[in-house]
Amino acid sequence: MPELPEVETMCRGIRQVKGRRISRVSTPKCSLRPIRIAPSVSAIQKCLRDEAILDITRLGKRVLLHTEEYALILQPRMAGLVSLGVAPSSKHIRLQIDFHGEPDCRLLYWDRRGLGSVELIRNDEVQSRIVVGRLGPDALQITSEDFATRLAKTSRAIKVALLDQKLLAGVGNLYASEMLHVAGIHPATPAAQLSKSRIRRLYNAMQDVLLTAIEHEGSTLSDGTYRNALNDPGSYQNQHRVYDRAGAPCPKCSAGIVERIVQAQRSTFFCSRCQKT
């Protein structure tokens, strides 16, 4: 967390800075463990000062701010946010970007746990340094054929395979549990053993779950960490079927109870009655 829907919401929420010119890049005073910023903030400031934001894109779970020459890559990881002028708390602001002109505008990168990163690279290096060997096709852009081909090549449990960013970019723990429940597939089923019809159901469930979560501006969990660009909570948590609902009745079959297991050191939620291996 945040996953694809939350990062896509961040990108959409900050698009009003598109076309604005950067006046200053800085790191507000913070007594907490610093995050990884490469190169130094002063070097980033030198490269980006007076440059215009020409585009804002998402790459898996990363936010990219593009100038004519550079891409500033913000990777929120477990508890990071990209927002406009407001943040859940001032002490966790790790990077601030101010812009020329009116109205007054600043972009903040906030990270409660300090696990995220900021990296500046040239636009023409994004593929070679970020994508190749590290990221598979985006979950909202991959074709059903490519999705099936990739799953057929791994014998890992389908839930574990879905979390592999080299196989598929953007899906994380929360939405993997949700889409498997919608598709009626047990999370421990080996990916390579899924039939064509079940893979098709999973592909359709993936698209539906992710797009609906984006419409609801992502999920704000009980810790309240995730917020949109205006510091408001998402609402997709109200649509969760199984995630973090262990012990509750299954909303699909009503007869089953949502269970929790651990896969690859992550919690998985499912209903064994309507999710068969």
Catalytic one among 21, 106, 200, 266? 266
Crossing angle between the packed helical segments 4-13 and 196-215, to the nearest 10 degrees:
40
| Number of helical H runs and strand E runs in the chain | 7, 11
Residue 215 to residues 12, 149, 219, 234, 255: CA-CA distances in angstroms?
A: 11, 29, 11, 9, 30
Torsional class of 73: left (φ above 0), alpha (ψ -120 to 50), beta (otherwise): beta
Catalytic one among 2, 5, 76, 187? 2
Q: Is 2 a catalytic residue?
A: yes
Catalytic one among 3, 6, 8, 119? 3
Q: Enter the tokens of residue 253.
A: 């079959």
SS3 90: helix
Residue entry with tokens 């906030």: 110
Catalytic one among 6, 8, 58, 61? 61
Q: Is 252 a catalytic residue?
A: no
DSSP assignment of 172-238: -HHHHHHHHHHHTB-TTSBGGG--HHHHHHHHHHHHHHHHHHHHTT----TT-----TTS---SGGG
Q: Is 156 a catalytic residue?
A: no
List, in order, residues 6 or more apart from 127 with CB less than 8 Å away: none
Rounded to a whole number of angstroms, the distance between the first and last alpha carbons of the chain is 27
Q: Is 145 a catalytic residue?
A: no
Q: Enter the tokens of residue 25.
A: 């890049």
Q: Please give the positions annotated as active site.
A: 2-3, 61, 266
